[in-house]
Structure 1
Amino acid sequence: DNPREPLVFVLGGAKVKDSMRIITKALEGSVKNILTGGLLANVFLAAKGYRLGNPSIEFIRGKSLVGQIEIAKGLLEEYPDRIVLPSDVAIDRNGERVEISLSELPQDYRIVDVGSQTVSSYIGHINKAGTVFANGALGIYEIPAFAYATEEIIKAIANADCFSVIGGGDTVAAARDLDVEEKLTHVSTGGKASVDYLAGVRLSAIEALKDSPARA
């Protein structure tokens, strides 16, 4: 069986190079949209020409991810309508969550989550999806003020009428913390192995999961 369409990916977290591999393969296939969050979204926003501000750019530089901005630029040029970027973000203003629109960039405070407007937009995509794969937090999940987007998106996936697969430490932790694991079709704890598998040709991980027993 092929995955139920449309296919929507929600990708975040700090493992940007892994996510870029997934995105490249996914967009060669039948994935309709990639919804971005976390450090991955910041890389794509920089690729789109947004000036994020020194704290966010220095964080990207510190993770040796400046080269990924060029890769993101190429993907945005090739697939402009399929990669979805945040329309607003949350910054860490001395420990306080402050949401701003992209027009208010650059900032002297680090971007730490996507904003509530973005969350609403992403939930709209999820509710129309036949299959959703989510990997990586959309903000800094360990800090409650910056866990908002990750929690809202996981709840939306759990409540959506779709085939759902989640992976990644913070994503799985959010599902457990919110007590929605049983509402998801498959929770992958395979870490990098599942990422490698998912990045394989024709999204073989989802194909394989469709043949495995669904969670009750």
Structure 2
Amino acid sequence: MKFGIQTLDDYDLRGKTVLCRVDINQPVDKTTGQLKDTTRIRACVPTVRELAQSGAKVVLLAHQGSDIEYKNYYTTEPHAQVLRELSGLKIGFIDDVCGPAARATIRDLKEGEVLLLDNMRFLAEEQTLFEMKLQLTQAQQAETLLVRKLAPLADLYVCDAFAAAHRDQPSLCGFEQVLPSAMGRLFEQEFSVISELMESPTKPCTFILGGAKISDAFLMMESVLEKGVADHVLTGGLVANILLASQNVAIGLGSMDFILESNYGEYIEKAGVIYSRFADKIVLPEDVAFEQDDQREEAFVNAIPAEAAVVDIGSRAFQTYTDLIHASQTVFVNGPMGVFEQAASEAGTRAVWTALGETKAYTVLGGGDSITAAKKYDVMDKMGYVCTGGGALIRFLSGEELPVVRALRHAAQTF
């Protein structure tokens, strides 16, 4: 047991039917049905392989697509093929979640066989609207259709979906109420790495926060500064723009319009409060980049053109950031410095990620855009640790007990 949660080491798996929740949600090219990335699938392979090679009958539960809009949903069938290729295991797929066909196939599994069910979010119970509006307790989640249909077929539930651990949904938190449960190897590894980062990082410790997920960034920023985890917080992307605006910097009408149109205006005041408390540790860019006549232009933050839209940090800023990264012993990064997908606005992200690849510090990379940037600039294999989680990682770093962690600890005490 670790962190009050059972691990795979606590169970004899041979002959057991194991429901294993993984997070293999990846971008899909719907015109070809091919996955655009396989990072998360690769990460869960060790757990799936260990379960199968230990003689378990393995049933994989997964989702595909953000439930912000139902049109994002897609079958998990392409994932089964990638899992076969990466694991070398016999992995079946069925286009059913918990209906008669799925249950019959589960009953027929042999030791060492693996079955991937279709997208969990095809069930309304797994959608955020269901989660947020009805706000079922975890005990009530055990009464949902999914849990009632699948739990009687299983001996053990394993959650390896750390990236989805901030979700309070039946496939993630319901089974722990009625079955012995454990965390998988990926979950265990991510929990361990991030716990160590929060509890005893080697100093100096630098956090790099960028991108456009504002609520998550400021939640994490305040937490790591409050707890003394971070010695410096380097800012980029929309995070930096909002902090600059909070200090009465005229960031350009293009930038301000975007902030207000995206309903982020309320964060300007919140950012000002955080900055007033931790100004000695929060590093704002001294210069920024914007596009003019399809060309990259740079200006000091006190001289941004009135109509500009800031798209990147400037060259002076990323040199400062590079120096701080090289002087650090631990670096955590979540979110790019600008619109790195475009040539005119990628220089800041490229420079910072290059520094991450060069530094002798222990580097922890989190979030989808951060991983995409690491691949683009060919530094993935130079990172100390790459986390699969985005929202879960940020909420963990903010000090919140994640719903899945709470459910797994409940199971450890109950069974």
Q: Normalised by the size of structure 1, how large is the TM-score? A: 0.89
User: Which runs of structure 2 are paired with 1:109-148 in the superposition (5 Å)?
Assistant: 109-148=308-347
Look up the match of 2:353.
154
Whichever residue aligns with residue 216 of structure 2, its letter is D
Look up the match of 1:17.
215
Whichever residue aligns with residue 110 of structure 1, its letter is A
CA contact (8 A) 2:250 2:302 kept: no
Per-residue deviation, 1:196: 1.4
CA contact (8 A) 2:335 2:369 kept: yes
Aligned counterparts of 2:369 and 2:247: Cα–Cα separation in 1? 27
Look up the match of 1:165.
364
Look up the match of 2:261.
62
Look up the match of 2:243.
44
Whichever residue aligns with residue 118 of structure 1, its letter is A
Look up the match of 2:389.
190
Per-residue deviation, 1:100: 0.8
Look up the match of 1:204.
none
1:87-130: per-residue Cα shift (whole Å, max 9, x none)? 00001213211011112124312100000000000111111111
Per-residue deviation, 1:189: 2.0
Matched, 1:98 2:98: no
Whichever residue aligns with residue 175 of structure 1, its letter is A
Query: What's the secondary structure of 1:138's corresponding residue?
Result: coil
Per-residue deviation, 1:173: 0.8
Range with greater deviation from structure 2 (101-110 or 68-77): 101-110
Range with greater deviation from structure 2 (113-122 or 146-155): 146-155
Aligned counterparts of 1:13 and 1:27: Cα–Cα separation in 2? 19
Aligned counterparts of 1:100 and 1:153: Cα–Cα separation in 2? 19
| Poorly superposed stretches of 4+, deviation over 3 Å | none
Look up the match of 1:207.
none
Whichever residue aligns with residue 194 of structure 1, its letter is L
Matched, 1:3 2:201: yes
CA contact (8 A) 2:366 2:388 kept: yes
Whichever residue aligns with residue 7 of structure 1, its letter is C
CA contact (8 A) 2:290 2:310 kept: yes
Per-residue deviation, 1:25: 0.2
Look up the match of 1:26.
224
Q: Report the structure number with the largest CA radius of gyration.
A: 2
Aligned counterparts of 2:367 and 2:261: Cα–Cα separation in 1? 22
Whichever residue aligns with residue 376 of structure 2, its letter is D
Aligned counterparts of 1:192 and 1:95: Cα–Cα separation in 2? 34
CA contact (8 A) 1:141 1:170 kept: no
Greater RCO (Cα-Cα under 8 Å, separation 6 or more): 1
Q: Unaligned 5+ residue runs, structure 1? A: 202-216
Matched, 1:176 2:375: yes
Of 72, 76, 84, 2:271 maps to 72
Per-residue deviation, 1:17: 0.7
CA contact (8 A) 1:150 1:171 kept: no
Query: What's the secondary structure of 2:363's corresponding residue?
Result: strand
Whichever residue aligns with residue 384 of structure 2, its letter is T
Whichever residue aligns with residue 4 of structure 1, its letter is T
Aligned counterparts of 1:170 and 1:162: Cα–Cα separation in 2? 21
1:51-89: per-residue Cα shift (whole Å, max 9, x none)? 112111000101111110001111111111111100000
Amino-acid identity (%): 35
Query: What's the secondary structure of 2:208's corresponding residue?
Result: strand
Aligned counterparts of 2:218 and 2:354: Cα–Cα separation in 1? 25
